[in-house]
Amino acid sequence: MMQPSLPSSSVAPSLRDRLIVALDVTSPADAQALVKRLGDSVSFYKIGMELAYGGGLDFARELIDAGKKVFLDLKLHDIPNTVTKAVAQIEKFGADFLTVHAYPQTLAAARLGAPQGSRLKILGVSVLTSYDDADLAAAGYGCGVAELVARRAVQTRDAGIDGLVLSAAEAAAVRARLGPELILVTPGIRPQGVDTGDQKRVATPALAIAAGADHLVVGRPVTQAEDPVRAAEAILAEIAALPGLGQG
C-alpha cells in the first residue's frame, strides 16, 4: 500500500515539538508532577481552561522559564475590544500558541492583539472535535462539519491568523485547498486501541500527520497512561516512521 505524502505548513517543527501534551488537570501541583515525570520526552504543553482557572497561568510562566513551549488553549470569544486587549495581555507571557474561536470579528480582533512577527501564534478553533453534523444542526447551523471547517479555514487565512485547530478528518481538505499557509493543529488524537472518550472525530497520530497536521494535541492517552513516558515516545515513534518526515 502506498504511503501518503506529508504536506505541511511553512513552519517545520522538530519531531518532538509535533507532540503537544494537554495538561488537563485541576492544579499546578498535578501539572508539575506530570511534567517532571515526562521529563525530556515532551517539549510542548497545552494549558486549557480547567488548569488556567486554577493557577495555570503562573505555571505557564514556569514552563516557559524552564525552556518548554506552551500552548494556552483559552478559546477566547467576546466583543472585539475585549479580545484584542486580552490577547495583548497574553502576548506578554512568551507563550507559543493561543486559541480564539474562529469567528471573523474575533479573528480580526486577535490579530490586533498579537501583530505579525510576535512569538505568540494565534490559532482559530474551527469546530470542536466533540461535535458532529447532528450537533451543529442542533445548534442551529445550516451546514455540516466539513463545510463549516472549510469556511472557517478561509476566514482564518484571510484574517492573517497563524493557524487553525481542526480534526484530522478535515485536515487533508484544508491543506489541499490552502497549501502551507496555516499551521494545522489537531486534537482528538487516539493511538490504536485507546478509548475515544468524549471525542467524535478522532484519528491515530500517523493518520493525522499524513493528513497535513503540523502538531498533535494528546491528553489522556499520555497523561493517564500507566507509563506516560512510554506512551509519549510511542506516539513520536509512530510519527517518525512515516516516510519523508525525518527525525527533525
Active site residues: 75
CB-CB contact of 138 with 163 (8 Å) = no
209 in Cβ contact with 241 (< 8 Å): no
Please give the C-alpha separations between residue 39 and each of 26, 71, 203, in angstroms, as whole numbers: 20, 18, 26
Return the amino acid letter for 99: T
**Amino acid identity of 9?**
S
104 membership: H or E segment, kind and range: helix 104-113
Whole-angstrom distance, CA of residue 210 vs CA of residue 217: 15
Say if CB 38 and CB 232 are below 8 A apart: yes
DSSP 77-89: -S-HHHHHHHHHH
How many residues comprise the chain? 248
First to last CA, the chain: 25
- Measured CA to CA, the distance from residue 141 to residue 92 in angstroms comes to 36
